[in-house]
Structure 1
Amino acid sequence: MAKTLIGPRLRELRRERNQTQAEMARTLGVSPSYINLLENNQRSLSVQLLMSLADAYAVDWRDLTRDETARRVADLRHATRDPVLKSGRPDIQELRGAVDHAPRLVDLFLELHEVYRTALEKILNLAGDNGADELLRSSPETVIHNFFRDHGNHFPELEKAAEGARDGTFTSPEDRYFVLRQLLEDRHGITVRIRRLGDLNDALRYYDETNGVVHLSQALDTANRAFQLAHVLCLVAYPEAISDIVLRSGLKSQHALARLRVELANYFAAAFLMPYDAFLQEAEAAAYDIDRIATEFSTSFEQVCQRLTTLQREGARGVPFFFLRIDKAGNVTKRFNSTPFHLAEYGGSCPVWNIHAAFYQPGVMMPQFVELPDGARYFTISRTVHRPVFSEETQDRRVTLALGCEAKYAHRLRYASSYKFDDPKLYAPIGLNCNLCPRQACSQRAHQPLLMELPIDENRRGSTRYES
């Protein structure tokens, strides 16, 4: 039998029975000193004693020998790296010692940390809400974002439907709009009409289901016209694919269900216009050059960014990205995420992150390496794009698109090729937002953090009014 150390589990088992080491020793027919050595992992467990333990205490021997030490050490290491803890971090030997010799204390610490993280997430989820009635409700957008995230932002059934819809129809991306028009008319009796700006009351697309007509605004360019037709194709040709996903979502709110159907049809449209295998191959070949990919598939910059977050097919994965769209007021108007990272979940408010500076350099790609207070590191790229302009009132409707990934994937992106990865000043220190960021001496701080007190010296003026 391989060397088996069960010290923490043996101690826990003894304490559950309210036994001393001497009492357990008498039960098992060994000496108290031997029990002490076992509990301190200074002796390994024999097969004979393992069977005796299983019989005497009516436990499954597999439960006794299941080694969860590595996982618990990892959990403990993650918790002790939380930036809210200011003292020196224990090394790996200290963490293992705590797991081996004080397992119940470790459990309590991890439980307390989990309670803290849960409270923090609730604050983050509620941040920005106004009014007591809204504090206990999540918006449909948040619900849908969480649903997509929980599925890795990848839906195989919609990918399969998009492949079936294409069926080798297209010879080139440039033909897709015209082929889609013909496809809708021939198979579904739906015609397409381009309408003048005033005809649709500023709407960009309207599907008249009763009369079988898709009305598209002349404000849409060819790439977005094709996208809107692919969206309608999903609704009329593959309603069961959407219904199956909606049914298992468990959502109850009619607003959330309607939003989910819209986003699933949008997912289909992107998969239809940018076939998975060809898109992944081009993305890798182009080192994720977004403009080059958009040119290859005759799609928009934003469509490519969003599609890049969906490349999570088992056995054929791309770089796991998150994607945000931010307006000039700092509102996140779209968020897609194939990762579990907090920057993707709640980020967008930190002025140190260059997503805001991008508005000062319209159309220019702005790469940046960033680091959160907990030490997590990312590589992000930000650039502004224009929304459709069709009147004087709709001018300058720029938004910033931000695409990001863990820093360990940066070498696969051409935008990071000019950086020296070993530069100690490479990473910009950012936070999620000022209310929660624990960083001290940040010149961009706008609020006192909720979870800590910054040092104040009335005789000294620091870089901000919140600390000195």
Structure 2
Amino acid sequence: MPNSSRKIFAGARIRLLRQSLNLTQAVFAQQISISTSYLNQIENNQRALSGSVILALVDVFDFDLAELALDGAGKVSVDLQEVLSDPIFAENDVLMQEIKVAATNAPNVTKAFLDLYAMFQKSREQLGKVDSALKENDTSLAPLPYEEVRDHFHYKDNYIDELDRAAETFAGSVKRAGADRQADLVDYLNHRHGVHVVLRKDKPSSSTIRSFETATKTLYLNAASTKATNLFQLAYQVGLMEQGSLIESLLDTADFHTQAARDVCRMTYANYFAGAVVLPYAEFANAAKEERHDLEKLGFRFDASTEQVCHRLSSLQRGGNRGIPFYFLRIDQAGNITKRHSATSLQFTRFGGSCPLWNVHHAFQSPGEILRQLAVTPDGVKYLSLAFDQTKRVAGFKSPVRKYVIGLGCEIKHAGHVVYADDLDLTVESNFDPIGSSCRICERTDCLQRSVPPIGKEIHVDHNARGSVPFRIE
């Protein structure tokens, strides 16, 4: 049951539920034993959900209580807050309460505003091409393909139910007790599709990890890749060959702006299927609880990399069997977030750098270690944050090396189910490091790492005194 210490406003979710069932307010209200006017007030967030209404929603419509834990409006409001931190809105004194009301009561309008801003950002970055783009009806003002696909998954909570269940069914159909999973998939591709799998050792320094020749039905995998990588690539090939119609139907409903975005998402859907084959939902969710989310034990158990395990933990969002809400990200040495998802209230910055006090920025200096951090955000929410480095390279002394840091974390209320919190004292406030999303929207006034003032706050420069930050936030 959601926390009874706070009022729950979920008007947008209730309205969408009613509309998905094609019910009028009068009929919907009658089925949960409230008046039509009361339902109207709930849908417009003028009344909070009472305990009796919540129970009625569960009883009559099998409503998932977990949906009340983190309304999608929370993610939208964080994105909206960050967009409004752009200096072009400096003269618009938009209150945080107004942002929350807009995200909750008018989520579609708010999302349209965010899409419009994203297009504006793109045009601002390409000012030199704007005139020609407008004259030639160029598509360069559309959202970047990867950004559009990233947002598509973001607002789906990184969980695609149809693909996830198809992958789980497939994984169960090819599994044999005691058999090597990679050998199982090699045999399956050969017998079902006539695909011959070859581990190439002639080009160990090649950056190509998978190559499929359609004419000869030969799938080449790089022998220098890890076992986890090759297992994933085998599952990816199955996804392309067997889930094409499902993937295309999902792409049709996504309504992307460009063919490039559709192509990127097709690849991402196949990746999603592969990950769900390697780490089948129910089996992995049960194992995660049993191992208390020990990343190394889970990786060994499923022949998966720690990155794959972390990513999967953040996507356990199936109704009726949700896992702990985790955030997940991958960051490079320049601070660029190359993968990200959050099932928690912690949202990552979309524009500009992230907080330098976060442990993900320190893991590069501690190779081979899992760094643990107790952190608290400006809204008072506390987190257990994990970070560890990851090096990817191919065979050869002079081969290029890619280095990343993986970040994984959950709210501190779930820490008792995570092995990494066992020896940490969660009761001492001073053990929690203050972190934020980005300086532009962080309201902390006493941070020594602040790079720019927060939007909407007045600053004062004292010419007779200088601290570590050259201004004081009023």
TM-score (norm 2): 0.71
Letter in 2 for 1:305: C
What per-residue deviation string (whole Å, max 9, x for no partner) do you get for residues 403-431 of structure 1?
Answer: 12223222221111222222111321112
Question: What corresponds to 1:425 in structure 2?
Answer: 430
Alignment of 1:253-272 (within 5 A): 253-272=258-277
Question: What corresponds to 2:447 in structure 1?
Answer: 442
Question: What corresponds to 2:36 in structure 1?
Answer: 62
Question: What corresponds to 2:195 in structure 1?
Answer: 190
Alignment of 1:87-166 (within 5 A): 110-111=97-98, 130-132=125-127, 137-166=142-171
CA distance in 2, matches of 1:355, 1:122: 31
Structure with more contact order per residue of length (Cα contacts < 8 Å, sep ≥ 6): 2
Q: 1:466: Cα distance to partner?
A: 3.9
Residue 437 of structure 1 aligns to a residue whose secondary structure is: coil
Residue 192 of structure 1 aligns to a residue whose secondary structure is: strand
Question: What corresponds to 1:175 in structure 2?
Answer: 180
CA distance in 2, matches of 1:125, 1:466: 33
Is 1:203 aligned with 2:177? no
Higher alpha-carbon deviation: 302-311 or 125-134: 125-134
Pick closer, same or farther for the CA change 1:65–1:221 going to 2, 3 Å.
Answer: closer
Question: What corresponds to 1:312 in structure 2?
Answer: 317
Letter in 2 for 1:192: V
TM-score (norm 1): 0.72
Q: Which of these residues, 232, 246, 264, is aligned with residue 237 of structure 2?
A: 232
Letter in 1 for 2:153: F
Question: What corresponds to 1:382 in structure 2?
Answer: 387
Higher alpha-carbon deviation: 389-398 or 222-231: 389-398
- Quick check: 2:119–2:141 contact (8 Å CA) kept in 1? no
What per-residue deviation string (whole Å, max 9, x for no partner) do you get for residues 113-163 of structure 1?
Answer: 657996899879988984446996432222222222322222222223223
CA distance in 2, matches of 1:120, 1:451: 19
- Quick check: 1:219–1:388 contact (8 Å CA) kept in 2? no
CA distance in 2, matches of 1:458, 1:72: 53
Taking only aligned residues, the RMSD between alpha carbons, in angstroms, comes to 3.7
Is 1:216 aligned with 2:227? no
CA distance in 2, matches of 1:398, 1:215: 25
- Quick check: 1:149–1:339 contact (8 Å CA) kept in 2? no
Alignment of 1:283-302 (within 5 A): 283-302=288-307
Question: What corresponds to 2:92 in structure 1?
Answer: none
Pick closer, same or farther for the CA change 1:121–1:287 going to 2, 3 Å.
Answer: farther
Letter in 1 for 2:168: E
CA distance in 1, matches of 2:99, 2:317: 34
Letter in 1 for 2:304: T
Letter in 2 for 1:62: T
Q: Which runs of 5+ in 1 are unaligned?
A: 1-59, 86-107
Identity rate, percent: 31
What per-residue deviation string (whole Å, max 9, x for no partner) do you get for residues 203-238 of structure 1?
Answer: 211122232111112231111111101000110122
Q: 1:319: Cα distance to partner?
A: 0.5
CA distance in 2, matches of 1:430, 1:121: 28
Question: What corresponds to 1:303 in structure 2?
Answer: 308
Q: Which of these residues, 246, 254, 265, is aligned with residue 241 of structure 1?
A: 246
Residue 71 of structure 1 aligns to a residue whose secondary structure is: coil
Q: Which entry has the higher C-alpha Rg, 1 or 2?
A: 1
How many residues of Structure 1 are paired with residues of Structure 2 in the alignment? 381
Residue 373 of structure 2 aligns to a residue whose secondary structure is: strand
- Quick check: 2:174–2:185 contact (8 Å CA) kept in 1? no
- Quick check: 1:152–1:339 contact (8 Å CA) kept in 2? no
What per-residue deviation string (whole Å, max 9, x for no partner) do you get for residues 93-128 of structure 1?
Answer: xxxxxxxxxxxxxxx995476579968998799889
CA distance in 2, matches of 1:174, 1:459: 74
Letter in 2 for 1:209: T
Question: What corresponds to 2:48 in structure 1?
Answer: 71
What per-residue deviation string (whole Å, max 9, x for no partner) do you get for residues 241-266 of structure 1?
Answer: 21221121121311111111111111
Letter in 2 for 1:183: Y
Question: What corresponds to 1:8 in structure 2?
Answer: none
Question: What corresponds to 1:335 in structure 2?
Answer: 340
Pick closer, same or farther for the CA change 1:274–1:353 going to 2, 3 Å.
Answer: same
CA distance in 1, matches of 2:265, 2:323: 24
Residue 174 of structure 2 aligns to a residue whose secondary structure is: coil
CA distance in 2, matches of 1:443, 1:392: 41
Higher alpha-carbon deviation: 110-119 or 357-366: 110-119
CA distance in 2, matches of 1:237, 1:272: 13
